[in-house]
Amino acid sequence: MFSYFKNKKANKRRSEYIEDVKNFIQVHFVRERAGERYKYNTLSLKTDPERDACNEWYEQHDNPSKFGDIVKLYMSDKSLGMDSVTSHYQLQSSILNDDEISKGDAVAMCLGLKLNFAETKRLLKSAGHALTNSYEPDLVVRYCIENKIYDFEDVEYFLSSLYETSLKDLV
């Protein structure tokens, strides 16, 4: 009986976030624009403290490039075990040795490590993935990361409520 009330309370809290998530997507969603006309249409920030701190962290750790090595360094720095990083999500420790990691698993690892957006972008890049502003489920993940919502169940709730998808299905 207690779990029923706990889930009911969690779902009420999650449903209150849904409008924020929808607004975030409306503001950040960009349709892909290919072609010569848009090739110079990029905007980069002059300074970003999170990005600068992330770059410093990589430099201090000799610029690792392999996904598994980076995850192990984050786990070591944050004194986390694999079970605490992957709790409530079906990730195997073998993911750290895989050459090909699915986007969903890579995102789940970022959530489990509680990485900020700059760190997430860098770790996803090492696995050959990215969060784009032209794929709405990616914006849901970005919203969660930027707002420090790292609970897998919350992220899954937003993805399934808005797009009938899950972390495992991210492309």
Asked if 170 and 138 touch (Cβ cutoff 8 Å), the reply is: yes
Q: Which long-range contacts (CB under 8 A, 24 or more apart) does 46-50 make?
A: 48/118, 50/116, 50/117, 50/118, 50/119
pLDDT of 39 above 60: no
pLDDT of 69 above 60: yes
Q: How confident is the model at residue 88 (pLDDT cuts 50, 70, 90)?
A: low
Q: What share of the chain has pLDDT > 90, as a percent?
A: 58
Whole-number pLDDT of residue 141: 97
H helix and E strand count, the chain: 8, 0
d(C-alpha 92, C-alpha 123), whole Å: 18
Q: Which amino acid is at 140?
A: V
The answer to whether the pTM exceeds 0.95 is no
Tokens standing for 85? Answer: 């990083």
Lowest mean pLDDT among 18-32, 38-52, 60-74: 38-52
Q: Give me the mean pLDDT over the 95-110 stretch.
A: 84
Angle at 31 between CA 30 and CA 32, to 5 degrees: 110
In this structure, what DSSP letter does residue 96 have?
Answer: G
Q: How confident is the model at residue 165 (pLDDT cuts 50, 70, 90)?
A: very high
Domain layout of the chain by residue ranges: 2-169
Higher pLDDT among residues 45 and 20, named by residue? 20
CA distances from 89 to 5, 8, 65, 167, 168 (A): 22, 21, 24, 10, 10
Q: Give me the mean pLDDT over the 156-164 stretch.
A: 95
